[in-house]
Chain A
Amino acid sequence: MQEIKTVELVKRYKNLTAVNKLNLEIQQGELFSLLGVNGAGKTTTIKMLTCITKPTDGDAFIGGYSITKQPEQVKRLISVSPQETAVAPNLSVKENLELMCGIHGFSKEKSKAKIKELTEQFAVDSVLKRKAGKLSGGWQRRVSIAMALISEPKILFLDEPTLGLDVIARHELWDMIRSLKGKVTIILTTHYMEEAESLSDRIGIMKDGNLLAVGTTEELKIMTGANDFESAFVSIVKEGAL
């Protein structure tokens, strides 16, 4: 079942076209990665799909709701873990989770149960009382994703979730993301080849605001005749649309 559909989606900033006529379909429960170098338009796409930025032209439908005409309904279905650290630094991890419960209008009982569930799922019980701003980058990302899952979203947007993390923290976070596969639809942006290859059901490759190619890693390798995914990516980005 189709969960996300973009129709000729465009975002322009003065003379810069950040996203150009994006047409994309993502299925329910799929983990879809948007891969591209810096400035490809990945984060702008996420910002439009999460109703943070209004498109200049075109539209997108999330769970059947238009991001331009029904942003309130869209916001009830989605959650986002932004690229940068997005925790309240002077609040403890538990208070950060409670904050998200309160914002989504949970009762005390439901908040308590949800926090318990996510604490176990993300193994954050050892840092629950620590201030979020004092945690390492890896822990903060872990908390950030837990916060995004509080609202039980149908669709989760992860914007560069492992950016700046060391290799161990990155692999731990990958395991966590894998554990969510199938339960929620995940749209992940990254510029790490191995991240996209390791986690995704399908990958969309973007450059200069254009979606150049979409497919599984195998499909993209076959398209380019490359032996490995990195070579396929380089070939697609250098040669343009396939």
Chain B
Amino acid sequence: MRMLTFAKRCTKEILRDPINLAFGLGFPLVLLLLLSSLQKNIPAELFDIDTLTPGITVFGLSFMTLFSATLIAKDRESAFLQRLYATPLTGFDFILGYMLPLLPLAVSQTIICYLFAIPLGLTVSINIVYAIIGIIPMAVLNIVLGLLCGSIFGVKQVGGICGALLTNLSAWLSGVWFDLKLVGGFFEKIANVLPFVHAAEMEKALFSGNFELAITHVMPIILYSVFITAIAVLSFLRQMKKQ
């Protein structure tokens, strides 16, 4: 109950920030619109709406990292958490309270992206539902990355690391904007070690109904999620103790 009260507060804080809404929802939609228009004039398989939309939904999740990290860092800097640390809320109430509101937000963002892509020519099938469900592990990974960054960095650093670095890494290393094989070499190897390209490929596989391929790509995402969750939880509890 206490945790849900805190989670409700976090939801309000995030949804009432117009910058969050503009970037989290507006930016992926603008990209969908621009790149699908580009594809109509200069046909490129990569920007075909059926290929592009699953990739954009994965890219959009990087904003969840920014939201959660910013909220936690702001709370820490404003002494709001110091007040709450002196209440009966436990460390796990805080962690779940920060994470829970972002999961429905991430799923809603994905649903809106798919709905927005339908008038742009997206093939409508039941696979859209599977793709929406399939995004959850990557959403969790992005949210816990935010928990980790918010527990370690200040507001300004979070803006740079999550707002600029992570969104760019997520974009470049996911293969959404260009075919990683075209670059090849070390860049491609690094991309394949990280979870972003697997998330984009998993979404594409689910959307096209290739579930076997989707499973091979979901495994690294789950492994990363478990690993980052453990580090993020420990980092949050550590900063609580360090107060």
Which chain A residues have a beta carbon within 8 Å of chain B's beta carbons?
A: 47, 50-54, 72, 75-76, 78-91, 95, 99-100, 102-105, 131, 144, 147-148, 151, 157
Given the contacts A75-B88, A104-B88, A84 and B79 also touching, CB distance less than 8 Å: yes
**B108 at interface, CB cutoff 8 A:** no
Contact B83 A86 (CB under 8 A): yes
Contact B1 A102 (CB under 8 A): yes
Interchain Cβ contacts under 8 Å between A and B, 9 examples: A51-B86, A54-B241, A79-B87, A84-B78, A85-B79, A86-B79, A86-B83, A102-B1, A104-B88
Contact B82 A52 (CB under 8 A): yes
Give, as a whole number of angstroms, the nearest-CB distance from B177 to chain A. 33
Contacts of B6 in A (CB 8 A): 99, 102-103
Contacts of B83 in A (CB 8 A): 80-82, 86, 144, 147-148
Contacts of B86 in A (CB 8 A): 50-52, 75, 78-80, 157
Bound together, the chains give a CA A86 to CA B13 distance in angstroms of 14
Contact B82 A88 (CB under 8 A): no
1-40 of chain B: CB within 8 A of chain A: 1-2, 4-6, 8-9, 12-13, 16-17
Given the contacts A75-B86, A82-B83, A90 and B1 also touching, CB distance less than 8 Å: no
Chain B: interface size category: 20 to 34
Contacts of A144 in B (CB 8 A): 83
Contacts of A102 in B (CB 8 A): 1-2, 4-6, 8
Give, as a whole number of angstroms, the nearest-CB distance from A105 to chain B. 6
**B187 at interface, CB cutoff 8 A:** no
Question: Nearest residue in B to A75 (C-beta to C-beta)?
Answer: B88
93-129 of chain B: CB within 8 A of chain A: none
**B89 at interface, CB cutoff 8 A:** yes
State which of A79, A86, A95, A99 has its C-beta within 8 Å of the C-beta of B78: A86
Contact A103 B5 (CB under 8 A): yes
**B178 at interface, CB cutoff 8 A:** no
Given the contacts A75-B88, A80-B82, A91 and B13 also touching, CB distance less than 8 Å: yes
Leading 6 A-B pairs by shortest Cβ distance: A102-B5, A84-B79, A82-B79, A90-B16, A86-B83, A50-B86
48-99 of chain B: CB within 8 A of chain A: 78-80, 82-89
Contacts of B41 in A (CB 8 A): none
Contacts of B243 in A (CB 8 A): 47, 52-53
Give, as a whole number of angstroms, the nearest-CB distance from B199 to chain A. 30
Contacts of A157 in B (CB 8 A): 86
Contacts of B2 in A (CB 8 A): 102-103, 105
